[in-house]
Structure 1
Amino acid sequence: MAKKIKKIRKKIQGPLEIMAIYGLMAVVKCLPLKWARSVGSSLGFMAYQVPSIKKLIHANLDVAFPDMETKESREIAIRSMGGLFNVFIEFLWFKGREKQVEKYIEWDEASMSFFKERRAANKDKKPCILLTMHMGNWEVIGQSHYTIANETLTSVATQIKNNVLEQIMYEGRTATGAKITHEKGAVKALIKSLRDKQTIGLLVDQSTKIKQGGVYAKYFSLDATISRSPATFAKKFDPDVFMVECHRTKKGFYISYNPLPFDYKECGSEEIYSAKLLEYMESIVRKRPDQWIWFYKRWSSYISSEDKDKYPYYSDLDRHAE
């Protein structure tokens, strides 16, 4: 009986998901952006009430801000969850009108001017890497880059199991000139773009296992993993490297393109480069903690069993670390 119920559930799950997605998109697209965001914030608030979600978020906030007052921690957690839902809500809102996204963006003029001058001088000489984090709305970066740079941006995205949602996301992401490659074969696609002196985008605030190319460095005083990819690419291709920040504002979004305050030559190794990158990302999160996504197992492993009590409840001993 249980197997039959499971089969029935699998058959109806897909159609129900599709109906929910199109229903939500229909509602959202009828609203002004401000009201659509209220929907996302409300969904985020409801999600925050789920005990497992609340536990994970506050475990991370306790690591990053151990002395923070409970009230402030709760406010950051709720806004963070609202921001997570609004990434999708805003994506649906702009679906079919992606080229209008620039109307809702305020650009940091100084950083944009520097970026354009640097790329104008180096476009045929060296590639470019745009680093970004799960802050504000990172999807908007890919949708708006061609507008300001007039160049293709190649990024990696996880393939979604629901084919309809995957198609919606793919169309929205590529509508303004971006190129999306899925995780399988992504490294080859990124290397090809770099060899062709093109621009790639990397989300760099995720936890990466050692056996998958990760390296440990300090993040909010605890060892955490980060992908070696930015350091490896910086070492091999000597690219222009910028950290792109997209913050949510009342009007829409505020975007800045800032060069990293260090380069590979002064670091001398992938480990030092990665450590400096994590330190730089921490400084960004500290400025706007409510815009970063705390609902993620960022400190998923620790190196020594002696450190177990310092880490969140979800962390495990990394037996692959040296």
Structure 2
Amino acid sequence: MADKPPFSQRAGNWLLNAVGRSVILMMLALPYGPRMHLAGWLFARVLGPLSGARKRIKQNLAYVWPELPASEVDKLCIAVPDNIGRCLLEQYSAREFNERVSKLAPIGPGITALDEARVNNRPIIVVSGHFGNCHAARSLIMQRGHKIGALYRDMSNPYFNPHYVEALAAIASPMFGRTRRGMAEMVKFLRQGNTVAILPDQYYSSGMIVNFFGKPAPTASSVAELALKYDALVVPVYSRRLKDGISFEILVEDPIPHSDVKTMTQAINDGLEEQIRKSPEQWLWSHKRWKPERAHLDKRKDMKLDISV
């Protein structure tokens, strides 16, 4: 049994959740557009600096994109938290968010393959990244008749996590937690000919070493492994936020050809990198994607998908 966190930590988490939840509820009372603009401003101008997000954004950019002008880096230090704030409030505005997404028409060469796989009851893995708002793609795919589930990681704050997951599920469900049981349930759901959405653009200490922005990036190889084992179609889908801050363009790319695990995993990274270079303000530069300082130290074994069920 894990040790119980100290009282000070539990009290701090409770307080952060109480304040955060209260702010979210107050913003939900505003009309949709002003609500999103306020959320963006709050994260860009207040929470971003306080949380250390700007420092992490600059560190990541200096590591993988050092030629980017300082003026552009400064702009991203504002634009990236702005997008994060909008994404969070969109998540808590599921009914209005889904209604807006329902009016969108996806673009791109992969639409036909995506819909044909659904008709033929072929398993589908939709891959994307923390880019724009990935939940817009999940919503639209659900509204096109797919049964789509998603893999998620719990928030570290145990008081905030329940309503956070509830908000995610309100956009489209089912949701599968990154636990052994959750992963097994997700694989079973996929095998039944359904669609799952996975965001593999996070650091995995025991992941496959492939390149991302020209640097070694440990990446979960489970998407390719699942696709090859269950003949699942792997379709990259990206939801790019438009200039008005509340609308999206949803791009469905050609499926990634089945080959070998490393080639497919690299192709997933390459596709996301291409989108980020076009719209760098829309990716989550504030998270620790590379962790070069741990390359020779981190020997942990992250939980892998149980694909034996």
Give the TM-score, by structure 2 length: 0.83
Tell me if the contact between 1:144 and 1:176 (Cα under 8 Å) persists in the aligned partners. Answer: no
- Going from structure 1 to structure 2, the CA distance change for 1:315 and 1:52 (only over 3 Å counts) comes to farther
The CA deviation at 1:47 is: 3.5
- Going from structure 1 to structure 2, the CA distance change for 1:165 and 1:145 (only over 3 Å counts) comes to farther
CA deviation map 1:185-224 (0-9, x unaligned) = 23212221222111111011111111xxx10011111111
1:263 to 254, 257, 260: 257
Are 2:218 and 1:219 aligned? no
1:77-88 matches, within 5 Å, as 77-88=77-88
- Going from structure 1 to structure 2, the CA distance change for 1:57 and 1:139 (only over 3 Å counts) comes to same
**Which residue of structure 2 lines up, in the alignment, with residue 200 of structure 1?**
196
Q: Name the aligned partner's letter for residue 257 of structure 2.
A: D
The CA deviation at 1:46 is: 2.5
**Which residue of structure 2 lines up, in the alignment, with residue 10 of structure 1?**
10
Deviates more, 1:226-235 or 1:25-34: 25-34
**Which residue of structure 1 lines up, in the alignment, with residue 303 of structure 2?**
none
Distance 2:232 2:95 in 1: 33
Distance 1:22 1:270 in 2: 41
**Which residue of structure 2 lines up, in the alignment, with residue 308 of structure 1?**
none
CA deviation map 1:13-69 (0-9, x unaligned) = 52x345324422332223233322222222223244348432221111123322111
- Going from structure 1 to structure 2, the CA distance change for 1:110 and 1:217 (only over 3 Å counts) comes to closer
- Going from structure 1 to structure 2, the CA distance change for 1:53 and 1:298 (only over 3 Å counts) comes to same
Distance 2:101 2:269 in 1: 30
Partner secondary structure for residue 149 of structure 2: strand
> When you count helix as a share of all residues, which structure comes out higher?
1
**Which residue of structure 2 lines up, in the alignment, with residue 293 of structure 1?**
284
**Which residue of structure 1 lines up, in the alignment, with residue 296 of structure 2?**
317
Distance 2:169 2:118 in 1: 24
The CA deviation at 1:111 is: 4.5
Larger radius of gyration: 1
**Which residue of structure 1 lines up, in the alignment, with residue 166 of structure 2?**
171
**Which residue of structure 1 lines up, in the alignment, with residue 72 of structure 2?**
72
**Which residue of structure 1 lines up, in the alignment, with residue 60 of structure 2?**
60
The CA deviation at 1:10 is: 3.3
Tell me if the contact between 1:131 and 1:243 (Cα under 8 Å) persists in the aligned partners. Answer: yes
- Going from structure 1 to structure 2, the CA distance change for 1:274 and 1:10 (only over 3 Å counts) comes to closer
Q: % of aligned pairs identical? A: 17
The CA deviation at 1:316 is: 4.2
The CA deviation at 1:182 is: 1.0
**Which residue of structure 2 lines up, in the alignment, with residue 27 of structure 1?**
26
The CA deviation at 1:142 is: 2.9
Tell me if the contact between 1:143 and 1:176 (Cα under 8 Å) persists in the aligned partners. Answer: yes
Task: Give the unaligned 5+ runs of structure 2.
Answer: 1-5, 301-309
The CA deviation at 1:177 is: 4.4
Distance 1:218 1:113 in 2: 27
**Which residue of structure 2 lines up, in the alignment, with residue 309 of structure 1?**
none
The CA deviation at 1:97 is: 4.4
- Going from structure 1 to structure 2, the CA distance change for 1:284 and 1:176 (only over 3 Å counts) comes to closer
**Which residue of structure 2 lines up, in the alignment, with residue 281 of structure 1?**
272
Are 2:239 and 1:240 aligned? no
**Which residue of structure 2 lines up, in the alignment, with residue 108 of structure 1?**
106
1:145 to 129, 141, 145: 141
Distance 1:117 1:8 in 2: 51
Partner secondary structure for residue 259 of structure 1: coil
**Which residue of structure 2 lines up, in the alignment, with residue 252 of structure 1?**
247
Q: Name the aligned partner's letter for residue 122 of structure 1.
A: N
Task: Give the unaligned 5+ runs of structure 1.
Answer: 1-5, 302-313
CA deviation map 1:67-116 (0-9, x unaligned) = 11100111122101111122112222x1454542425x533345474245
- Going from structure 1 to structure 2, the CA distance change for 1:85 and 1:273 (only over 3 Å counts) comes to same
- Going from structure 1 to structure 2, the CA distance change for 1:315 and 1:13 (only over 3 Å counts) comes to closer
Partner secondary structure for residue 129 of structure 1: strand
Partner secondary structure for residue 107 of structure 1: coil
Distance 1:55 1:287 in 2: 22
Are 2:183 and 1:187 aligned? yes
Q: Name the aligned partner's letter for residue 138 of structure 1.
A: C
